[in-house]
Structure formats: structure tokens, C-alpha cells
Structure 1
Amino acid sequence: MANGRGRDRGEPNFDVPEGRVAAPGTLDLRLSRQDRAGGGVAASGRDGGAKRGSGNGGAPKRGPAGSPVRKPKKRRGSLLGRLVYGCVVLGLWAVIGIAGLVAYHASQLPPIDQLAVPKRPPNIAILASDGSLMANRGETGGRVVSIKELPTYLPRAFVAIEDRRFYSHFGVDPVGIARAVAQNLTRRGVAQGGSTLTQQLAKNLFLTPERSASRKIQEAILALWLEHTYSKDEILELYLNRVYFGAGAYGVEAAAQRYFGKPAKSVSLAEAAMLGGLVQAPSRLAPNRNLPAAQARAAQVLAAMQELGFVPAQDVKVALAQPAKPAGSRGGGSANYVADLVMDVLDDFVGKFESDIVVQTTVDTSLQATAERALTDELNKQGTRYNVHQGALVSMKPDGAIRALIGGRDYAQSQFNRATTAKRQPGSSFKPFVYLAAVERGATPDSVREDAPIKIGNWQPENYSHRYEGPVTLRSALAQSLNTVAVRLGQEVGPKAVVQTAQRLGISSPLQANGSIALGTSEVTPLEMVGAYGAFANGGTGVIPYVIATVKSADGKVLYRRGEGGLGRVIDPNAVGMMNAMMHETFVSGTARKGDIAGWDLAGKTGTSQDFRDAWFIGYSGTLVTGVWLGNDDGEPTKKASGGNLPVEIWKTYMSVALKGQTPVPLPGMNRWRKAPEAATTASVATAGGPEEILGQIFGTNPQPAQPQPRRRQAQPQDDRNFFEKLFGVGE
């Protein structure tokens, strides 16, 4: 009965239990486990999942045979499943985090629709008169090149060593990153980087060199934009024109010129491999600094190119057998003085430009090289003996077109352009302006003036030899560079007239209109002096020296072309003839005898400033005007270097080459005033004097040419004069 009562008091269940059929007319109100709140989960959480009956005080439920029902086991997920589930959750959160990070850093960039590849700074290619490249100027160091101009192996060298999956990835290369990480973990140090060429380009175009996670994220974003906007070849072309190769060279053209002295389109396979390997570490792998390291890196590039099938094995074998070597240093060459001059004056001819331009100059590369050798060889040979450390040379056609310009002994050591910028006292080389002023007021080469002591206030100028000739012709006085005669002429015409004459011929430096102006005490530049002498060589037309012939855009459009120009007629033709006749005598019987070149009518004037601080010679033919200056930058006196020794020797060395093969032409108007042959012979015998006078020239304190007495010169043994001439050289 108890059991029966317990069942009658059980919880109502409105469903028919599974496997049973409700008796007709009965209502079972008991709840099954599934009917309870929580279902099976709630039931399984109590007493091992056994269902309690209310009629038996919570006794376990029994089966039909009275046996207890087994408690269901607690359901547990597998460990692997839980790990997978956790990974998925973490992965989702990671994606969300990365997306947020990318979105944040993308917000720091300009809007995508406003992104544009920044313009490359323009390059200025400076060419010689024959079209050959002399130098590049600008921030990049080389012009933009099209990938179509280049040999196929050149861009492939960069792909092989920097980004072998370049043509298959989408800007960021997960495979490459994974490979780089794996290799870096197995090697000491960082063996490889994971950046693609596109990422490197993005960094070069838009970002700073800063290394940070933020920059890498922005780099990846920009790489995706580049890949979406440009084709693979366009990206590679941009990369080749922007990547840095060291030594101020941006782009493959600048690098090829800098390291191999040739355009990028002409590099060999070995040179291309060296350029491809260089971008990894330009300062460490530069071939002009560390050739073994550069060649070893190039060998790695060649191996990668062969592995990828970019070049045949035979070509690689040849390249390895003949590794690339850098060309001779171009950065230290004198052509850079020309390039600097071009950059100084370029703004006068073209306005603002945003793309590459090409400047063709008037400079002859062979004459430039000849001038450089002539100057440096002489200084190397005799510079120490004479305590001369610097020099300059300017050579131009009579119309002012500069053919060679050397601004110093070594551009790599000093970029100061002494030819165009250094102002030094010209000494006696200034006297032609004094004589011209006198000629324009009635004097002639045969006019006579007194070579005797003269005093102006407290100033008493002396001749180089401290001796005086007495009455002399102007022709002889200029050839022998007599100071007293030049000062007398200066006083006759007036210092202001001397200054005005020099300025009319093109001297632009400030000149002091005083008595000493006749001896060249106001400072001028070599370029000014050579330009002024050009008027004598061309027959009287004032010269404006120029170095730029044309300026063109990269596509060939003419931006500037040199036209007819100059200062117009500045000397009367008759006066030109007289001046040329007098300065020709300098080569015949005067201070420039050692500079004479057989077959040519030459004219010029030597100059030496006070205390031998500056030594000059400016001479010319009918086709070329050349000036040489020697001295020291700090103004330290030389050891008796005068215009008649080292400068004349340099001048002759250069001019002998420059005039070779040309047909000699007469100097304008000179034949009318040429000295009679017999008189010239007499004068040539009476040039230097005997041993006593030669010693006076060598050890005198006033740097002007010796002027021994004519009668004494004739009486002196010729052998003695030649002996001292050969031993010491005849200075001014």
C-alpha cells in the first residue's frame, strides 16, 4: 500500500512515457526528465543523473525487474576539439585585432583616392660638346631610365636576389616572409628580409627610414595600393629609378655612371649582378670601397639568377670568371669644376623645372683631360721645389666658348673653383690694359718711354732686376715687363682710364683707380682675365665667357640655345693690331720665350704678384686663349715661382696638344705692326743679360722681369746666359 500511495502522490506527467500506453480513462501527470527545466543537463547534474521519485524519498529509480537504473555518464568534449575551438576563437580575435590595427595605421596615411607617386627630383645631365656625359647634378645623381632601355638581365638581377616571387605575389609575400623567418631562425643574425620589391618601393616613395612595426604595417598597405594601381613592370621601373646605391646615386642609371662610368643600358652581366647585390648594404658593398665584398655578393646574385633560369649557365660562368670592377674615380675629376660652373649659371638661362634636363656644354673632353694632366703633372714635378700647391687653367675660343676649365689640383680634395671664384692679384698680366689705354690715346709699339726710377708720393716702384734701361720702345717695355714704364703710362692716361679700359674688355671685379693699378694690384679671377684677353685674339670684340651651349628637356625640347652674344666692339682694329704685335714680342724676346710653339703666331703676357704670391701667364693664338694661375690658397709666398717659369711651361704643354693638327692663323692686325726680322734677332740676343743680371732676376724682391742694359747684354758671354737660364729659368 505504501508503494501504491507513493506512486499516487508522484509528480504529474501529461505525456505517455515512452514504451507505455496510457490506460483508458487515466491521466498521468508525472514529468519526464526532458520535461524539467534544463532537460537532461539539469537531471544529470543531480546524483549522477538518477531521477528521484517523490514517493520513495529520493530512492533510485528501478527497472521493471527491480534492478537499479545505471546513472548516465557526464558528457565531456575531447581535448583536441576544445583546442580547435579555442584556436578558432583566438584566431577570430586576432583577425579583429589586426583589422583594427591596420585600420588605425591606414587612417594615418592620406586617403587612398589622394595617393600619388611623388615626383622624382629632376636630374641635370651635363654633357661635353661631343655629347658625352661629364657629370650629373641634382639630388638623384642620374636620369630616369625606362625598363625597355635596359638589358633584360639587369632588372632580373634585382628580382633574383631581392624578391624572387615578385611576379606572383600581390605586394606582400607571406611565403617569402615565412621563408625569411625560417632561415633567420637557423642562422646567426638576420640572414634575409621579408620585404618585397613593392614594399621597398613603398618605403622609398612614401615613408621615412624609421624601422618600426607601425612603419611595416603602413609599408604593406601602400604596397597593396601600388600593386592595385601599377603593373609589375611599372613597379619594377619605379623601383630601379628610386632605390639608393650609395655615393649619392639614386637609381640604376646614376649607379652605373658612378661605379662603372657608363650608362645603365651598357652594363655587363657581371656589373648588373654587382648593382643588384649592392642595394642590400650600399655603404658596405660599394665596389670602390670594398671590392671583394661586392664581388662576393655579385656571385650570390649570379647563382640566384641561374637557379631561377634568368640567365644561361655559360653566361654565369663567364661573369664569374671576369667579375666586375669599378671604373676610375670620376668624382675627383676636373670635369666636376665645369659641372659646378654650369650649376652656378643655369638659373640665368632656364626657369624652374620639375623633370630631367640635359645641358650641353662647350667643353672639349680631350682638352679638359689634357689641361688637367698638364697642371697636375707640373705641380707634382715642381710644386714642392717652388712651394706651389694650387693652380687653375681656363681655355676658351676667342668668342668666349670655354673649352677647358680646371679649378684646382684635385677636385676630390678641394671643390673650391679657383678658375671662377678665387680673386688674386694679376701682377704684370694686367699691363696690357694699361698699354691699350695708351695706344688708344696715340701711342704706338715704337713709341719711346724712359725706363728710370719714378716716385709717386711715398711709393717708388722698381723693376724686377732693380736696373733700368733708359729710353725703350713700348714694344720692348711690355715684352720685358718693365714696371716703371707701365707706371708712367698709367699716370699719363690716368688710373681711371686704366680701370675703364679693363672693365670695357670684361673685367667685372672691383678695381682700385690708383697708381699701383698699372702693376695689377687689384684682384681678379682667371676666368675674367682670359675672357678679357679674348678681345685681342678675336680682333676687338668684347667677350662674355660661356659654358652652356643648349639646354633641353629629357624628351628633346629645346629650353635654351646660345645665340650670338658678346659686348660688341670694344677695341679699334688698329689698336688690336698694335697690342697683338707688342704681346707677340713676349714670345720672341720677352718673358714667355719658353712658351713659343713653332709655326704659330702667339701673343700673351706673364704676371707675378708681390713677394711671388701669384704666378700668371695668359697667352693666345688666333683660335684659342688660355690662362694659367699658380699659387697657394692661403696667400703664402712661393719660392720664386714667376709667370715666366711654371705657368708658361704648363701653358705650352697644353697648347701644343690643343693646337696640334690645326692650320695656323695670323693674329688680327699684327702683321702691320710686326717687328722687322733683323730687329727681332737683335732683341732676342739681348734678352736675359749676363750671369749677374740673371741672379738679380732670381733673387730680386720685386716680381718683375729683368731689364739688363742692352750694351752690357751684348758684351756678356752667351754661354753664361744659357747656363743660368737652364739652371733657374728666366722669370719675370
Structure 2
Amino acid sequence: MSDSRKGKRPLVADKRYGASPPKGRKATAKPKAKPRKVSRRKAAPVRRRGGIIGLLQRLISWILRLIWRVVWRVCAVAVLLLALAVGYYYTTLPNVTELLDGRARGSVTMLDSEGQVFAWRGDQFGGVVTAKTVSPHLRNAIVATEDKRFYRHFGLSPRGIASAVRINLSEGRGPLSGHGGSTITQQVAKLLCLGVPYDPETQTEAEYETECRRGTIKRKASEALYALAMEAKYSKNEILTIYMNRAFLGAGARGFEAASQRYFGKSAANVNPAEAAMLAGLLVAPTRFAPTNDLTRSQGRAATIVRLMNEQGYLTDTEARAAQDNPAQLSPAAEARAGGYFADWVMSSGPEFFTRKTTEDVIIKTTMDQRIQRAADNAMAWVFENKIREGSKAQAAIVVMSADGAVRAMVGGRKTKVAGAFNRAVQAKRQTGSAFKPFVYAAALDLGYSPNDTVVDEPYCQTIPGSGQWCPENYTKKHYGKVSLTRALRDSLNIPAVKVSEFVGRDLVRQVASDFGLQSDLAAGPALALGASESTLIEMTGAYAGILNGGSSVIPYGLVELRLLGDQEPLMGTGGGIGERVVQEDAARQLIYMMEKVVSEGTGQRAQFGGRQLAGKTGTTQAARDAWFVGFSADYVAGVWMGYDDNTPLTGVTGSGLPAEIWRETMARVHEGVPAKPLPMMSPSQAGETREQTTGGVSGGGGVGGFLDSLLRDILGGGGNTGANQPRPNVSGSDR
């Protein structure tokens, strides 16, 4: 069997390799060709099954072939359209340098009297920084926070978009609501508003910003195309440079250089890891995480970014720990919250086209003295913390200026670190009470009367047609007989003030007060002498500055010079200062003597500090709705107002109380390290002999004055020489 099997193998080999046909047979075809043809014919029925299953198979195959033919053609068209769209955006993209400053308006930088920056307004642009010149820590913090695959993707991040959609859906929002998954390149496309410039003629800035931030699917698609075009046009570092210069980072700062200067007082090239992390943290929510709004919250956000930088290898463990242990702190200017009330006042008093609506970058040098401003802020805080009952809604304001009207500090309310708030120092018009009386006596002294001349303090009434009798009273409800003008002012006696005003003439008193700077409408009736008129604190303080400087008016000012950024020559200079003379210098110096007695012996004694010569005047209006103390040393003038915004009467407060204490706390701090100087005052003895007056109820120390005063009252029916037909005034008297 073994032999027979072995004998058959050559036959198989013969068939395989084609043996010769048997004799007598005609050779028709090669044996190898037939099996191939038969094999193909037999294979076809195997692929195409008969019946319904075969039919379905053939139908599905035809559909798939059709879909493939359509899909690849559609994809080709889509790719072509995408390339055309990207190409269109590519052609519209300008040079990188044209995209770095995208502000619609300019900025204002304010310098104090020493030339140091203390405030900013508008959209601040600190200058161009690039991905190469900026601190590496800041560049790394931005990438780690906003787009960790920035240097690896082509402008879009499908993984990031899918992750954002998943998170949004899991949190119950729409797929495009909330987390965006945008790359830095897409964010730049949004910042550029797809290349559409702002046109103030057709829309407001707010409308433009809203349009640029729309989150519709169409808008997102356009941003994606724009991002692809930028990736084709610019390098990664150029895209990052645009981003770093255009991003809004809170408090009016555009770009990281402006933000670094505003918050830390240094260039973005020099920030450390902690500062870089705080700046990068502003990108997600500039207002919420601005360190000027909530430093603790901003530091917490920065700590999170430091951890991200450590996880992504940008910081070592040691560097990250150091940044966590030493969080970034605000610069003094940033801590002051952009200059507060003083900066607001300068912005409102300057030309609108160079301040509130400037399209240029403006530098304004001011009269601000930051040491004095801190003194006023601290004094206000100390008094309200230690002297005012908890829960009180009472407000106060402070103005400190030099004798020439240069304002050195301003506090417009209890909350000192604010911007854009109601400024009670310049916006609140309130009755002045007895703080107005120095202008009554200034008119008399300018006519040649002496501080030692006398007037009789006794019951006094005027009959005002249509209103009946008006009878002012002293705060003490008492009368003191014949008193000198000095004592009348020292003790804030109402009846003598009215008598003097009526004698010299209300018109003259109004003229003197107006020339000293009280621009509000002054009362026409006899209550003019008691401060029935309204004025602002800055006007009152400026008027007292005129007394200190020897009787010349002043216009309070804060702006010293204004220039454009990069220019050396100012466009405008000081808008205030000393004006024309109002009263003679001797009269002003004698009035200072009288006002010094108010502080050293009279109603203003609580204002004393440091053994210095001080002068001033208290004032309280009817029902104690307003309380004032305005006064000066030889170096500075300060005014304090206290009251409620809604005119609610103060409880137990007069000008001689809390306002005098606020004034003392302010001026004591202001004068730290300032040598004591005597006031420029003149006593009656220095002025020469007092001259006797024999008419009008004002007398020079003799015994006939009271008689003539009574006679004048009888002749005029208890009235003065002007204004007898005026309506009954609103204020029946003021106190101390």
C-alpha cells in the first residue's frame, strides 16, 4: 500500500503542472485556463444571494456607494468653501501692530503734587508688551489658565469644545451656555470683533461690546473661521501678544501692562509668579476678581492658578510654595481705588473732551497731597469708629486746601475708598448756619469798624409784610446786653449778627460773600446773616481761604496742568487760584483775630490741638439738619460738613461738637512735622484806636450805643434798612 501511494504522487504533479493530452484527443485548451474561468463563474453566485436577502444586500450596497459619492463631493465643496472663508478673513487681517490697542476711547492718568501717579480714569493702556518681553511667569500663567494646548493646536480645540459642551449639559445649561471651550486664538477673534471696527456714529460703545460678545452658533462659527485665518497669518507668539494687549482686566485697564501698573505699580515685564497668577486670574471675570474690589477673592483665584502652573511644569514645588505663602499685594495707588472723591472732582471740573469723553491718553498733574489725603481719610474713619453710634446713617465731608485755593485733600462721604460716588464735598448744597457770620463781620470791618465796637444783644423782631413778625433768638435763649463784635462772633450770637447785617446792608453782605466765592443764590431776607443760604463745602472752604490770604478771593482748583501722553508741553494750566481783592487786608487780618477767639475761647474750642494758633467758625442750621466747622491754621484751610443725605435732623450734634472734632483730627494729622506758625492776624490795638459809632446800633464802647440802637429799632419798627418787604425766612435762628 505504501508503494502504491508513492506511485500516485507524480500523477498529481503532472495534473498540477499540465501533462500532455492522451493520444488521439484534440487539445482544446490549456488545463490551467479552465479552472480560472470556472472558478470566477462559480464565485459570483456566492456573493449575490438570491431571494429577499440578496435583494436587500444589493440595495444596501447601492445606497452606500451613492452616499460615498455624495459625501466626498460635499466634503470637497465644504473644504473649498472653508478655504475661501478662511482666505477672505486672511486678506482682511492687518499687521499685528495695528491690533494691539483696541480701545474706543482714551484714558486719564492723574499725578499728585509730587508727580506720583495716584489715580486713573477711562480705559488705561499701559503700552505694548509682547510674548517675548513680558515676564515669563505671566506668559505661562495665561497659557496654563486659558489654553494649555495653545502651542499645539491649529486655532480650535475639538477636545476643549467637547469637554465644555459636556460640562454645560451636565450642569443643566444649553450646550453653548456657560463654559465656552474657546482657545486663546478664538478669544482674540472675539476681542477683535471679527475685524469690525467701532463706529460711534452708528452705535454706542455698549451696543458694540454686546454685538462682539454674542454667543450664537453663527457667531461661534465665524469666530472659528477667523481663528483659523489668524493661525495662518500670525505666529503663536503674535496671537498671544494681541491677546495680552487687548484683554480687559478690570478697573479700566486694557492689556496686561496697564493692569500691572494699576494694581502693582510695576511693568508686566517684572511681575513675580504670585503677581502673574493674580493678573491671569482676571481673565475669567475682570470685575469679580479685580483686587481693588475684593483682594482676598483675587488672591484665592491666584492661588488656584499657581497650582495649575505647578501641575503643568511652569513652576517648581519650591516656587509654587513661595507664591502661595506670599500672595500679591496692591500698590498704594491701587489700594486708594483710583483716587476716590478727589479724582472724581478733577474729572468733573476739567474740560469734557480731555477728561470724561477723551479719545486721547491724557496726563493731569493735580494739587493732591497724598499725605494730607491719608490724614483726612484716617480722621474720618477714626471719628466714625469711635464717636458715632453703630448703625448711624449720618454722613460727613472734608476739604483741605492751601490759602491760594489749591485743594490738597477731599473726602466726600464716610466711605473714603470709592469712585463715582455722590460727592458731598462738591455736590451737596446745604444751609450754612452760623458758618456764614464771618462774611457779615467782614463787611463791617471793611467799612472801618473795629472788633472792639459794640452792639446790643436784646430781644429783636422785624415785621415782614405778608409773613408777620420774625424774631431771631440766640442758641442759649438768653440775651447779653452790649457785646463787642469779637464776642458776638466768638459766642455765635444771632441777634448781633442780624443787627450788623441790617446796619451795613444786606446787599453789601451778599456782595462780600459772593466775591469770596459763595456762588449759590444768597437769601434776600434778614436771615441772610444766620446762614439761611445754601452752599457747598468746597465753596465755604474756599471763601475761608480768602480770609486767610488777606482778603482776596480764590477759586478752588485741583488741576495744575494737562498734557497728552508723550508730549512735554501742557495743553492747559491751572484753572483757579487767587483772584481779586474782596476786603482790605487790615479788615481780613482783624477778622482772623476775631475768628481765633472762636477757637481759643468760644464755640470752637474742641478744634484746638498742639498749642497752635487756629481760627474758625462753627455752624448749625435749623433743627440741626446741618453742622459745620470751617477754619484754618497759618498753613492750611479745612472745612467739615456733617448731616444726613435726606435732611433728617442730627441728634445732639452741633458745629461745635463732632464737626469740630473731625476738623481737629484731620488738621492734627495734616500738621504732623509742620513747624508751628502764627496766624496773620491783627488785634484792635494794632489797628489803632477804636472809633465810636453813634448810629445804627453799632457803637464803639461808649454808653450811648445801646440807646441809639434802641432808637434805630423804634424808628424802623424793629427792622433793618433793607429787605423789610421780604417773605418770612425759613430759618428763625442758628446756634453754635
How far apart are residue 221 of structure 1 and its match? 3.6
- The structure-2 alpha-carbon separation of the partners of 1:197 and 1:438, relative to structure 1 and needing over 3 Å to count, comes to same
How far apart are residue 265 of structure 1 and its match? 5.6
Which of 213, 218, 223 aligns to 2:217? It is: 213
Residue deviations 1:235-287 (CA, integer Å, cap 9, x gap) = 43432233234566543356557766877566431231233244235577667
* Residue 153 (structure 1) aligns with: 137
Does the CA contact (< 8 Å) of 2:112 and 2:365 recur in 1? yes
How far apart are residue 389 of structure 1 and its match? 0.7
* Superposition RMSD in Å: 4.2
* Residue 441 (structure 1) aligns with: 447
- The structure-2 alpha-carbon separation of the partners of 1:321 and 1:228, relative to structure 1 and needing over 3 Å to count, comes to same
Which of 412, 423, 436 aligns to 1:417? It is: 423
User: Is 2:323 the partner of 1:319?
Assistant: yes
Residue deviations 1:149-177 (CA, integer Å, cap 9, x gap) = 743311231123323454566xx435x43
How far apart are residue 640 of structure 1 and its match? 2.7
User: Is 2:442 the partner of 1:430?
Assistant: no
- The structure-2 alpha-carbon separation of the partners of 1:509 and 1:270, relative to structure 1 and needing over 3 Å to count, comes to same
Which stretch shows the higher mean deviation, 373-382 or 398-407? 373-382
Which stretch shows the higher mean deviation, 218-227 or 99-108? 99-108
- The structure-2 alpha-carbon separation of the partners of 1:463 and 1:499, relative to structure 1 and needing over 3 Å to count, comes to same
* Residue 183 (structure 2) aligns with: 196
Does the CA contact (< 8 Å) of 2:401 and 2:636 recur in 1? yes
Correspondence list, 1:705-716, <5 A: none
* Residue 535 (structure 2) aligns with: 524
Identity %: 37
Correspondence list, 1:377-416, <5 A: 377-384=382-389, 389-410=394-415, 415-416=421-422
User: Is 2:118 the partner of 1:134?
Assistant: yes
- The structure-2 alpha-carbon separation of the partners of 1:86 and 1:348, relative to structure 1 and needing over 3 Å to count, comes to closer
User: Is 2:618 the partner of 1:612?
Assistant: no
* Residue 302 (structure 1) aligns with: 306
Where structure 2 has 5 or more consecutive residues not aligned to the other structure, the ranges are 1-27, 49-57, 195-211, 464-468, 689-730
* Residue 704 (structure 2) aligns with: none
How far apart are residue 220 of structure 1 and its match? 3.2
Does the CA contact (< 8 Å) of 1:452 and 1:470 recur in 2? yes
SS in 2 for 1:383: coil
Does the CA contact (< 8 Å) of 1:396 and 1:402 recur in 2? yes
Does the CA contact (< 8 Å) of 1:334 and 1:410 recur in 2? no
Does the CA contact (< 8 Å) of 1:449 and 1:474 recur in 2? yes
- The structure-2 alpha-carbon separation of the partners of 1:271 and 1:97, relative to structure 1 and needing over 3 Å to count, comes to same
How far apart are residue 292 of structure 1 and its match? 8.6
Correspondence list, 1:651-670, <5 A: 651-670=663-682
Between Structure 1 and Structure 2, whose CA radius of gyration is higher? Answer: 1
Letter in 1 for 2:105: P
Q: Distance in 2 between matches of 1:359 and 1:181?
A: 50
Q: Distance in 2 between matches of 1:303 and 1:519?
A: 67
Which stretch shows the higher mean deviation, 108-117 or 656-665? 108-117
Q: Distance in 1 between matches of 2:167 and 2:614?
A: 77
User: Is 2:549 the partner of 1:541?
Assistant: no
Which stretch shows the higher mean deviation, 427-436 or 359-368? 359-368
User: Is 2:593 the partner of 1:581?
Assistant: yes
Does the CA contact (< 8 Å) of 1:608 and 1:703 recur in 2? no
Which of 333, 357, 363 aligns to 2:368? It is: 363
* Residue 659 (structure 2) aligns with: 647
Q: Distance in 2 between matches of 1:198 and 1:270?
A: 25
Letter in 1 for 2:349: V
Residue deviations 1:306-354 (CA, integer Å, cap 9, x gap) = 5666445532332234445778996886941112112101216948642
* Residue 345 (structure 1) aligns with: 349
Compute the TM-score of the two structures, normalised by the length of structure 2.
0.73
Q: Distance in 1 between matches of 2:609 and 2:391?
A: 25
Which stretch shows the higher mean deviation, 378-387 or 427-436? 378-387
- The structure-2 alpha-carbon separation of the partners of 1:334 and 1:423, relative to structure 1 and needing over 3 Å to count, comes to farther
Compute the TM-score of the two structures, normalised by the length of structure 1.
0.73
User: Is 2:612 the partner of 1:590?
Assistant: no
Does the CA contact (< 8 Å) of 2:106 and 2:124 recur in 1? no
Does the CA contact (< 8 Å) of 1:363 and 1:403 recur in 2? yes
Does the CA contact (< 8 Å) of 1:448 and 1:471 recur in 2? yes
Letter in 2 for 1:100: L
* Residue 462 (structure 2) aligns with: 456
Number of residue pairs matched? Answer: 616
SS in 2 for 1:626: strand
How far apart are residue 527 of structure 1 and its match? 0.2
Does the CA contact (< 8 Å) of 1:270 and 1:324 recur in 2? yes
- The structure-2 alpha-carbon separation of the partners of 1:283 and 1:226, relative to structure 1 and needing over 3 Å to count, comes to same
How far apart are residue 392 of structure 1 and its match? 0.5
* Residue 635 (structure 2) aligns with: 623
SS in 1 for 2:571: strand
Residue deviations 1:109-136 (CA, integer Å, cap 9, x gap) = 9966799644453222233333444332
- The structure-2 alpha-carbon separation of the partners of 1:473 and 1:102, relative to structure 1 and needing over 3 Å to count, comes to farther
- The structure-2 alpha-carbon separation of the partners of 1:364 and 1:250, relative to structure 1 and needing over 3 Å to count, comes to same
Q: Distance in 1 between matches of 2:393 and 2:40?
A: 111
SS in 1 for 2:106: coil
Which of 152, 162, 177 aligns to 2:158? It is: 177
SS in 1 for 2:342: helix
- The structure-2 alpha-carbon separation of the partners of 1:674 and 1:384, relative to structure 1 and needing over 3 Å to count, comes to farther
User: Is 2:548 the partner of 1:567?
Assistant: no
User: Is 2:254 the partner of 1:269?
Assistant: no
Does the CA contact (< 8 Å) of 1:350 and 1:560 recur in 2? no
Does the CA contact (< 8 Å) of 2:107 and 2:358 recur in 1? no
User: Is 2:643 the partner of 1:638?
Assistant: no
Q: Distance in 2 between matches of 1:109 and 1:422?
A: 56
Does the CA contact (< 8 Å) of 1:349 and 1:560 recur in 2? no
Structure with larger RCO (C-alpha < 8 A, sep 6+): 2
Residue deviations 1:682-718 (CA, integer Å, cap 9, x gap) = xxxxxxxxxxxxxxxxxxx97655xxxxxxxxxxxxx
- The structure-2 alpha-carbon separation of the partners of 1:87 and 1:665, relative to structure 1 and needing over 3 Å to count, comes to farther
Q: Distance in 2 between matches of 1:500 and 1:428?
A: 18
User: Is 2:500 the partner of 1:497?
Assistant: no
Q: Distance in 2 between matches of 1:593 and 1:386?
A: 28
* Residue 696 (structure 1) aligns with: none
